Amino acid sequence: MSDARTGGAGAQALIRMRAITKVYGAGQAAMHALRGIDLAIHSGEFVAVMGPSGSGKSTCMNILGCLDTPSGGSYRFQEIEVPSLTRRQRALLRRHRFGFVFQGYNLLPRTTALENVELPLMYRGTPLRERRELALGALADVGLSGWEQHRPGELSGGQQQRVAIARAIVTAPAVLLADEPTGNLDSIRSHEVMELLRGFNRRSGVTIVMVTHEADMAAYAGRVVQFADGLVASDVRQAENA
pLDDT of residue 242: 46
The pTM for the full model equals 0.90
Residue 82 lies in a domain: no
Residue 32 lies in a domain: no
Flag whether pLDDT at 112 surpasses 60. yes
Q: What is the pLDDT of residues 13-33, one digit of tens each?
A: 999 999 999 999 988 889 999
Residue 199 lies in a domain: yes
Residue 24 lies in a domain: no
Tell me how many domains the chain contains.
1
pLDDT of residue 1: 32
Q: What is the pLDDT of residues 50-97, one digit of tens each?
A: 999 999 999 999 999 999 999 999 999 999 999 999 999 999 999 999
For a pLDDT cut of 90, what percent of the chain falls above it? 87
In contact, 98 and 81? CB cutoff 8 Å:
no
What is the residue range of 115's domain? Answer: 43-66+101-237
Distance CA 168, CA 172 (A): 8
Distance CA 69, CA 82 (A): 8
Residue 195 lies in a domain: yes
In this structure, what CATH number is given to the domain that contains residue 130? 3.40.50.300
Residue 16 lies in a domain: no
Residue 9 lies in a domain: no
Residue 169 lies in a domain: yes
